[in-house]
Amino acid sequence: MSHKVLFQVTGSIAAFKAAHVISQLVKNGHEVQTVATPSALEFIGPATFEGLTGKSILTNSFENGQMMGHIEWARWADIVILCPATAKSINSLAAGTAEGLVGDIFLANNFLRPYLIVPAMNAQMYHHPATQRSLQQLQSWGCHIMETGAGILACGEVGDGRMAEPQEVLKKIDEILIASTDKPKILITAGGTCEPIDGVRNITNFSTGETGRFLAEYLKKSFDVFYVKSETAALPVGVKNVYTFKSSDQLEQTIKCLVSEFYFDSVIQAAAVSDFKLKSINGLKPDENSKLNSDEKVTLELSHRPKIIDQIKNASLNQNIKVIGFKLTQSENKDHKQEQIFKLSMNPNIDFVVHNEINTTRGLQHRSEIYKRDQVILKTESKVQLAQNIERLIQGNL
Ligand SMILES: Cc1cc2nc3c(=O)[nH]c(=O)nc-3n(C[C@H](O)[C@H](O)[C@H](O)COP(=O)(O)O)c2cc1C
β-pair type (361-362, 352-357): unpaired
173 lines ligand 1 (CB under 6 A): no
Domain check: are 159 and 209 in the same one? Answer: no
pLDDT of residue 24 exceeding 60, the answer is yes
Other beta carbons less than 10 A from residue 288's beta carbon: 12
Mean pLDDT of 179-199: 90
Domain check: are 36 and 124 in the same one? Answer: yes
* Residue 340: exposure state from Cβ atoms within 10 A (0-12, 13-18, ≥19): middle
Instruction: Decide if 26 contacts 52 (C-beta within 8 A).
Output: yes
Amino acid identity for residue 390 in this structure: I
Best CA proximity match to 188, nearest among 236, 225, 238: 225
Query: d(Cα 32, Cα 34) in Å, to the nearest integer?
Result: 6
pLDDT of residue 373 exceeding 90, the answer is yes
| pLDDT at residue 63, rounded to an integer | 67
Domain check: are 139 and 202 in the same one? Answer: no
Atom nearest to 87 CA in ligand 1: 11
| pLDDT at residue 216, rounded to an integer | 96
Other beta carbons less than 10 A from residue 156's beta carbon: 7
Q: Which of 83, 155, 194, 257 is catalytic?
A: 155
Domain check: are 21 and 153 in the same one? Answer: yes
Domain check: are 270 and 349 in the same one? Answer: yes
pLDDT of residue 288 exceeding 80, the answer is yes
Best CA proximity match to 168, nearest among 154, 149, 152: 149
Domain check: are 164 and 234 in the same one? Answer: no
pLDDT of residue 383 exceeding 70, the answer is yes
In a domain, 135, yes or no: yes
In a domain, 283, yes or no: no
Amino acid identity for residue 116 in this structure: L
Query: d(Cα 232, Cα 391) in Å, to the nearest integer?
Result: 26
Phi-psi region of 54 (alpha: psi -120 to 50; beta: other; left: phi over 0): left
Other beta carbons less than 10 A from residue 293's beta carbon: 9
Mean pLDDT of 164-180: 92
Query: d(Cα 273, Cα 258) in Å, to the nearest integer?
Result: 18
155 included as an active-site residue: yes
Domain check: are 201 and 335 in the same one? Answer: yes
Give residue 37's domain range.
Answer: 4-181
Average pLDDT of the residues of the chain: 91
Domain check: are 147 and 216 in the same one? Answer: no
In a domain, 284, yes or no: no
Point out the domain boundary residue: 181, 204, 238: 181
312-361 tens-digit pLDDT: 999 999 999 999 999 999 877 888 889 999 999 999 999 999 999 887 76
In this prediction, residue 297 has a pLDDT band, given cuts at 50, 70 and 90, of very high
CA 90 to ligand 1 center in whole angstroms: 11
192-245 tens-digit pLDDT: 999 999 999 999 999 999 999 999 999 998 999 999 999 999 999 888 889 999
Amino acid identity for residue 73 in this structure: W
Give the predicted TM-score (pTM) of the model.
0.60
CATH of the domain at 83: 3.40.50.1950
pLDDT of residue 64 exceeding 80, the answer is no
| pLDDT at residue 65, rounded to an integer | 62
Give the chain's domain count: 2
Domain check: are 168 and 204 in the same one? Answer: no
Contacts of 235 (CB under 8 A, 6+ apart): 213, 227, 229, 242
Residue of the nearest CA to atom 6 in ligand 1?
12
Query: d(Cα 180, Cα 203) in Å, to the nearest integer?
Result: 36
Dihedral of CA atoms 158, 163, 167, 173 in degrees, nearest 10, equals 150
CA 119 to ligand 1 center in whole angstroms: 11
Best CA proximity match to 28, nearest among 169, 224, 184: 169
125 lines ligand 1 (CB under 6 A): yes
Amino acid identity for residue 233 in this structure: A
Contacts of 185 (CB under 8 A, 6+ apart): 223, 224, 225, 226, 262, 263, 264, 265
CATH of the domain at 366: 3.40.50.10300
148 lines ligand 1 (CB under 6 A): no
Best CA proximity match to 383, nearest among 190, 248, 231: 190
Mutate to test the pocket of ligand 1, among 43, 86, 97, 148 (most ligand atoms within 8 A of CB): 86
Best CA proximity match to 181, nearest among 8, 10, 342, 30: 30
Domain check: are 74 and 204 in the same one? Answer: no
Atom nearest to 37 CA in ligand 1: 27
| pLDDT at residue 391, rounded to an integer | 95
88 lines ligand 1 (CB under 6 A): yes
CA 86 to ligand 1 center in whole angstroms: 6
Length of the chain: 398
Mean pLDDT of 38-66: 88
Domain check: are 118 and 192 in the same one? Answer: no
CA 65 to ligand 1 center in whole angstroms: 29
Point out the domain boundary residue: 124, 147, 181: 181
In a domain, 63, yes or no: yes
CA 209 to ligand 1 center in whole angstroms: 46
267-284 tens-digit pLDDT: 999 999 999 999 999 999
| pLDDT at residue 274, rounded to an integer | 95
| pLDDT at residue 61, rounded to an integer | 67
Mean pLDDT of 290-312: 94
Domain check: are 46 and 174 in the same one? Answer: yes
Point out the domain boundary residue: 181, 201, 229: 181
Dihedral of CA atoms 33, 37, 43, 47 in degrees, nearest 10, equals 40
Mutate to test the pocket of ligand 1, among 7, 35, 88 (most ligand atoms within 8 A of CB): 88
